[in-house]
Chain A
Amino acid sequence: MNPTEETRQIIAKVKAFISKTPWKEAFETRLDVLSERASMPCELAIAGRVKAGKSSFLNALLGEKLAMVGTTETTATINYFKYGVPKDQEHPVLVVWEDGKEEWQSKAFLDSLQGNTREVIEKASKIDHLEYYVQKDILKNVTLVDTPGTNALVDEHNQRTKDFFSDSLRQKHHEQSIRLKERADAVIIVVGHVPMASNSDIIANFTDDTKAFNAMGIMTKIDNENLTIEEWKNRCLSYSNMMRQHLSIILPVSASMVTAINSLSSGNKLQYIQGVVRQVTNANDFERLFANSTKFFSQQSAYLNLFNKYGINETMRKSLMCGITDYPVFYRIARELYYNSVDEAVANIRVYSGMQDVWMVLNKQFLNRSRIIRCTSVLKAVHAMLDDIKNRCLYDLRQESVNLYAYLEIIKAYPYYAEVYARRNTSQEIAELLSNTGIPMPYIKNDVRRAFVSFVKRNICSDDECKIIQSQLESLLVEIEQLQGQFTQTDKNAEALMILESKANLFSDKEVEEIETLLGKHVGRSISDLNLSIGERILYWRGKRHFYQGNIDACQVIDTTIYNYNLLIKNEHEYN
């Protein structure tokens, strides 16, 4: 099954239908856009509060320093990351201005967008978005969108810079974020390392339309607190249980750790750090000296003497950090290097940074399903459009059709009114007719009347035509729903498997194995190998379903299981 092709086919059908109805102009372009969207890569938006660490996370994800990272409100524009090569290495960024113009710009231009001054804000408010082209495999199926922090939650200290431009810019960002929210297929929400009540607002706000399964959370800046990865994971788990209606999972990530380890891996920097650090032969002294930055850079004689004892002078200490700006990050790396070999240390830090987990979840939840996600959202839009036609436009049409005969009667009875009406509500065609005839005004009454009658007849459907349109609409809706059903079913199986994996204690091991086999997780094994009576199992799960009320996860898994079993039974019947 090729979801893109099927979606496009159905859109073509809808288009063929629309072109025969009076709403041709209103909807045709939108259908074209949707049809194009079906084959474009799926959009993954990265959202979060101002300064939650969105850009750092993005850099860690792409492994390149693209989005600018700074301490002020950095991302003043929306950034798109797409697959491709920039035309000119000197001008790597495509700037799309608000008026639709596009131009390639250099790095210097980006630097001029840094900061919070009036000029910068003025400039940024004229930009619609920036496009970066990167050759990363992840971008082949997914376009990443880096959003500016939502304005719903402006920090108090940001209020200081409040003036006209920043206000309008923020307003614009807010609008853009809302627009993004409507079209993004999946969302990564970046929450700070300290869960805050305001976060849940943002999450609820950004994910109310998308399915929870299509939204994941990232807890950034976890290097700021000295906790082990297990402690972070527990914190994330309790937080994600709170947010489970909106987010499928929250993962801890240290973006700066990833960038640090990437930059250190080149050259022999790691070996150098290890060499220096291991000069401190006493482990207790190492903990004392390196534990925090005040001690490390201390000018107190006690510490200075201790450092000198192990032969580490001040210049060495400064060069030791190798350009890492965050001390906690450096400390963690140094500590790993102190106790472990270089390879082990790198592996440990990569685990701690959490990026591997992120990749795993990203692959499973988004990248493998990206086509389905995109097609489902396109189909949803088409369905909503047809619904709108059915509920609103068709109603208007029918109302007019009721009036059709009344109009014609009026025209027949009062030719003069018809003319006045035609002139007052000058529809384009009648106006042209009037000017083209060239007949002096007093003599055209009959012509106008005839023209008006034909105009009314052409533009108003009769009652029968309305009925035909309605039945066509309904059959199209059914077709779309069938396709949606197919997509969601493949999706639901994947979703159930994900839930099983993340919530291990939901069912017993035997039950988990049964469900996983049924949903096709183990390649080459089918449910018939387990020697279960399908009927018995259906009844077992149906009974169990009643006892899991209020537990959305469990219900979802059980529903999917029962559905799959029912399908098996149905196929068996048909086979016999």
Chain B
Amino acid sequence: MAKIGIDFGTSYTTLSRVNPGTGSAEPIRINGKEKIPTMVFFPEDGDSPSFGEQAYNIYRTCLKIKDVNKSCRLLAGLYSDLKTNMNPEEQLFLPNGRSLSYTEMIGEFLKYLKEEVESTIFHGDFVTDVCITYPVKFEEFKKNILRAAASYAGFTNIKMLMEPVAAAMGYKLAEEKELGSLCRNKSVLVYDFGGGTFDLAFVRFDENGEHITLPPKGDLHCGGQDIDKNIYDEWDKLVFSETGGKKHISDVEGMVNAPFLKTTCRENKEEISEYFKNPERSREKSLNEDVADDYRELNVSRQKWEDIVSPIIDKTISLTIEMLTFITEQNYSVDKVILIGGSSRISVVYDKLNKIPQIRGKIVRVADLDVAVANGAAIFANQEAVTAQKCYCRMCGEQLDTSMKFCRYCGTPNFRYDFRFADIK
């Protein structure tokens, strides 16, 4: 009877659970990684499919294959954009000749996650309850597919929660634990800058929990992938100039070298971003990679790095400013801005946001950027499981339980009060 939260993302899926020992949410690692690529790979010979990291490794295999047609053929079995393309009518054709609906395809993926989690974390205990998150602007039919997929995977108790709400919830609980008081009548702006998409949502907390009051904003084509593409373009320029205008990274004109983009450039991005996090580093970051049949070196200065990321980040900044003006027009105010999603790890994001006067100094970077949503989902999945425990009033010594805010005899605040009770509806 274990419960988990799943953040089913465009490029990565993350899992989380509430640790019974500490009572707080923590990410679940599969094969040592918290981010599991949302990918399914079906081999041509009809073997059983592979998921997540194993499916992602097809790109690495392709990196070694020099023939484009062969790698095309191999990648045909890789299903990676399940979240954006899902559709109730379509049947996905598989390399082995069968076909699956989106429900079954996502169901298979969730089933894989479920089995992995059951065997490693919960030691054979069945995971029956799950909370899956979805974006605010998510069509109703997609939600239905996701729900059906979860029941296909074998989850019996399925809850759905909006991504920004989940993120805000995780943040709120952490805050309440720290302050020891309730977090009420506050509003936060959730800035979710992930792998493929960017979302902004305004979440308010009040007596009845968290909810979205204003329509969200977002960009469907703005995320880490675009930064990868810009780094790819830098490499391409380098190759082009070093070969005297004879060669590109990709052999065919108009096409990109997908394996290189998906593996090397993505890793480059994480490397550079980590390198320039330290504001005192002024030297160039040099990258050495095997590109276009040769070892080449690309030097990225801080200025160049900013040039690479700025076009994409500026889009999110202008959307944020629009959203903030809209919020002010509606007579609301923002107490905190929560940054989540892997791409908001880039220090430029924080610097640029901090320049907006309305939210200067109110920006919070959550500790687990990638899993903040999944953490919230796990908390939500576990909410009903919170049971009251015996405790005593510190003033009069009468017996109470942890669900009571005040002593019912003398009215003293109960300092053993469990804040999670506030969220049970």
A residues whose Cβ falls under 8 Å from a Cβ of B: 384, 387-388, 391-392, 395, 398-399, 402, 474, 477-478, 481-482, 485, 505-506, 534-535, 538-540, 542-544, 546-552, 554, 559, 563, 565-567, 569-570, 573
Contacts and interface: CB of A to CB of B under 8 A. Distances in A.
B85 interface: yes
Contacts of A548: 254-256
Among all A-B residue pairs, the 7 with the closest Cβ atoms:
A543-B72, A543-B76, A539-B76, A542-B76, A546-B258, A477-B140, A547-B255
Contact of B261 (A474, A482, A549, A569): A549
Given A399-B208, A543-B73, A549-B229, A538 B256 contact: no
A474 B140 CA distance: 7
Contact of B99 (A399, A549, A569): A569
Nearest to B232: A550
B96 to A, nearest CB: 10
B104 to A, nearest CB: 13
Given A539-B73, A569-B99, 13 more contacts: A384-B215, A387-B215, A391-B215, A481-B140, A485-B89, A535-B93, A538-B93, A543-B73, A546-B72, A549-B256, A569-B91, A569-B93, A570-B89
B118 to A, nearest CB: 31
B78 A546 contact: yes
B250 interface: yes
Nearest to A474: B140
Interface in B51-110: 68, 71-78, 80, 85, 87, 89-93, 95, 97, 99
A478 B254 contact: no
Contact of B90 (A384, A477, A546, A566): A566
Chain B's interface size range is: 35 or more
A379 to B, nearest CB: 12
Nearest to B73: A543
B212 interface: yes
B159 interface: no
27 contacts: A391-B211, A474-B140, A477-B139, A481-B139, A481-B140, A482-B141, A505-B254, A539-B73, A539-B93, A540-B72, A540-B76, A542-B75, A542-B77, A543-B71, A543-B75, A544-B255, A547-B250, A547-B257, A547-B258, A550-B229, A550-B261, A551-B256, A552-B221, A566-B92, A569-B99, A570-B99, A573-B91
A570 B97 CA distance: 12
A505 B253 CA distance: 10
- Most A Cβ at <10 Å: residue of B72, B74, B87, B212: B72
A387 B162 CA distance: 14
B224 to A, nearest CB: 13
A395 B213 CA distance: 9
A554 B144 contact: no
Contacts of A573: 91, 99
Contacts of A566: 90-93, 99
A540 B140 CA distance: 32
User: Interface residues of A: mostly helix, strand, loop or mixed?
Assistant: helix
Contacts, number: 100
B225 interface: yes
A447 B254 CA distance: 80
Contacts of B141: 478, 481-482
Nearest to B162: A391
A392 B216 CA distance: 12
- Most B Cβ at <10 Å: residue of A538, A542, A563: A542
Nearest to B212: A391
A543 B95 CA distance: 11
A535 B97 contact: yes
Contacts of B85: 559
Given A478-B144, A567-B90, A543 B256 contact: no
Nearest to A391: B212
B75 A402 contact: no
Contacts of A539: 73, 76-77, 93, 95
Contacts of A552: 221
B119 to A, nearest CB: 31
A540 B97 CA distance: 14
B161 to A, nearest CB: 14
Interface in B193-220: 208, 211-213, 215
Contacts of A402: 208
Contacts of B144: 478
A482 B88 CA distance: 10
B292 to A, nearest CB: 15
A552 B229 CA distance: 13
B89 A549 contact: no
Contacts of B91: 566, 569-570, 573
Contacts of B252: 547
B139 A546 contact: no
B72 A544 contact: yes
Contacts of B255: 544, 547-548
A392 B77 CA distance: 42
Given A540-B72, A552-B221, A567 B211 contact: no
A560 to B, nearest CB: 12
A539 B78 CA distance: 10
B249 to A, nearest CB: 11
A200 to B, nearest CB: 13
Given A542-B75, A566-B92, A570-B99, A478 B256 contact: no
B76 A478 contact: no
Contacts of A481: 139-141
- Most B Cβ at <10 Å: residue of A546, A551, A559, A570: A546
B99 to A, nearest CB: 6
Nearest to B259: A546
A540 B69 CA distance: 9
Contacts of B77: 539, 542
A475 to B, nearest CB: 8
Contact of B254 (A384, A395, A399, A554): A554
Nearest to A390: B140
A559 B81 CA distance: 11
A176 B246 CA distance: 53
- Most B Cβ at <10 Å: residue of A481, A543, A554, A567: A543
Contacts of B87: 485, 563
Contacts of B208: 398-399, 402
Contacts of B73: 539, 543
Nearest to A475: B140
A147 to B, nearest CB: 22
A396 to B, nearest CB: 10
